[in-house]
Chains A and B, each alone.
Chain A
Amino acid sequence: MEEKMLKDSFWIDQFLSGNQRGFTVLVEKYQNKVMNIVYSLIGQDRESQDIAQEVFLKVYHNLASFKKRSQFSTWLYRITVNATYSFLRKRKSFRGNDEVLEKITAAGSNPQEALLKKEKKELFEAALAKVPLKFKIALVFKDVEGLSYREIADILKCRLGTVESKIYRGRQFLKKEIFLKEEE
């Protein structure tokens, strides 16, 4: 059986009983997911890598305290969200990815047309960078990572209705960013 097919709890037990390979497998399995979430939230490559590293360091030092009442991924994503918030608190001047924000501003009066062209993904990321973080987190977990409302509620420790509302408002925000000028 391939290593990655084994359950997370197996590798957690391996690590806790002294087998370092257990931790390495967990990192290999989740590193890109964590990186992707952090990047989607802050839009900065180098800082995202630093935060991802900080997340796994916390996992390494605190895995013994993981109670297995939730899935490992839920616990890991919660740490990811907290580390991202902590990073943003330290950098109060953070204003998203300025480079891509400039691109959407320079896109002209018809952003939808521009979106359909070569740069549409970059422009979309610029629009995403403008979405308030509290909505963006739920949106990223839903659409980028494909989690269910229930899983997102567990990660964010909130009610299902709150998750639904955050996703709704996040999409409304994105929709306005992308389609507003066209409607004008």
Chain B
Amino acid sequence: MTIINLNGKKYKTATKTLTELKKELNINKTTYVLVNGTKTCKNKNLYNNISVSFIKKNSFVSLKEYNSMMSYRYGKETFNKIKSAQVAVAGLGGIGSNVAIMLARTGIGELFLVDFDKVDVSNLNRQHYFIEQLGSFKTKALKEQITKINPFVKVKTKNIFIKEKNIKTLFYKYKIICEGFDKAQNKAMLINTVLTKLPKSYIIASNGMAGYSGANDIKTVKKTKKLYVCGDFKNEVNENNSLYATRVQVCAAHVANIAVRLVLGITEE
């Protein structure tokens, strides 16, 4: 007998292979198979603790199945760190909206999304919003999207203009804060305040991503023990240098990537 993990539950079987197991359970072609979290079409030998999930095509999974699938995919220890992580995103424009979506897909357990603004048409060339969301608060619009991508992420939101006086109250709970502001002054204000008032928190900032020069110019730099900065450190947005989805998303991916690395306990870049 083999004891396998079937759709997140223990299951005892006398079958020796995936094909035999499918016959035993009457699994037909409207179902696809994940073995240890990864989709497969091939037959495989079964062994103790192998994870097998049969998932009906076009259907979603339960929390239990999701946890099992992701644990096998990432490895249990890694997934547990990701699932129990809490990350804040301050400012939900080109950087913040894309960072939030990437972190949700990754499976970060809790996201705290803060912005005062509403979605408008000028946002759509680079920010992660839809036409049907024009006029909605960015916090609400992103929460809606995340629910459709990964409903197991807890999304907390706050519609508020972030200023020096409310930063401590808003973010003291969060060990990882991603900065997604537009104006240089606001970036500097948030970073100065977090580094001096919330010394236990990491802040990941973005600095320079406008225009269409090379994507390789955008990098992650660890500036101080608690400050990481992603960007080309140069290309400012102005009338002659616009923001493009491509470079903004490269920069957002740098921010999200260092957030995930910090969640996993990796502090060196």
Q: Do A and B come from one complex?
A: no
**Residues of A bordering B, CB below 8 Å:** none
